[in-house]
Amino acid sequence: MIQVDEALSISAENSTKMPIQKIQVHKALGYILAETVYSPIAMPPFRQSAMDGYAFIHSERHQYDVVDISQAGDHSNIKLNENEAVRIFTGAFVPHNADTVVMQEHVMANEKSILITRMPAQFANVRNKGEQIGPEDVAFEANTLITPAAIGFLACLGITEIEVFKKPKVAILVTGNELVKPGKKLPKGKIYESNSIMLQAALETIGIKKTKVHKVKDNLKATKKALKEILKENDIVLISGGISVGDYDFVKEALLENGVEELFYKINQKPGKPMFFGAKNETLVFALPGNPASSLTNFYVYVYPAIKNRMGFSDTHLPKLVRKLNSGFTNTSGKTLFLKALYDETHVTILDSQSSAMLNTFAIANCLLIVPHDVEMLKKGGLVKLLPID
Nearer to Mg ion, 274 or 278 (CB): 274
Shortest Å distance, C-beta 140 to Mg ion? 45
Nearer to ligand AMP, 53 or 289 (CB): 289
Within residues 211-270, the interface with ligand AMP by CB under 6 A covers 240-242, 244, 246
Long-range contact list for 80-88, CB < 8 A, 24+ apart? 80/55, 80/56, 82/57, 84/56, 85/54, 85/55, 85/56, 85/114, 86/54, 86/55, 86/56, 87/54, 88/49, 88/51, 88/52, 88/53, 88/54, 88/55
What is the rounded CA–CA span in Å between residue 38 and residue 153?
Answer: 12
By the rule CB under 5 A, 289 interacts with Mg ion: no
By the rule CB under 6 A, 69 interacts with ligand AMP: no
The residue among 314, 316, 318, 311 whose CA lies nearest residue 16 is 311
By the rule CB under 6 A, 200 interacts with ligand AMP: no
Return the one option of ligand AMP, Mg ion, none that residue 43 interacts with (CB less than 5 to 8 A, by type): none
CA distances from 121 to 32, 38, 278 (A): 43, 34, 66
Return the one option of ligand AMP, Mg ion, none that residue 292 interacts with (CB less than 5 to 8 A, by type): ligand AMP
By the rule CB under 5 A, 274 interacts with Mg ion: no
With CB under 6 A as the contact rule, the residue among 35, 68, 163, 178 that binds ligand AMP is 178
With CB under 5 A as the contact rule, the residue among 168, 176, 278, 312 that binds Mg ion is 176
By the rule CB under 6 A, 289 interacts with ligand AMP: yes
Return the one option of ligand AMP, Mg ion, none that residue 174 interacts with (CB less than 5 to 8 A, by type): ligand AMP
HSE (side-chain half, CA atoms, 13 Å) at 283: 23
Chain centroid offset of residue 275 CA: 25
What is the rounded CA–CA span in Å between residue 14 and residue 16?
Answer: 6
Q: CB atoms < 10 A from the CB of 344, how many?
A: 10
The count of residues interacting with ligand AMP (CB under 6 A) is: 18
Nearer to Mg ion, 322 or 357 (CB): 357
Piece of the chain touching Mg ion by CB under 5 A; list 35-43, 114-122, 141-149, 285-293 = 285-293
Return the one option of Mg ion, ligand AMP, none that residue 15 interacts with (CB less than 5 to 8 A, by type): none
CA distances from 15 to 19, 107, 142 (A): 12, 63, 18
> Which chain residues interact with Mg ion by CB under 5 A?
176, 241-242, 290
* Residues near ligand AMP (CB under 6 A): 174, 176, 178-179, 191, 193-195, 240-242, 244, 246, 289-292, 357
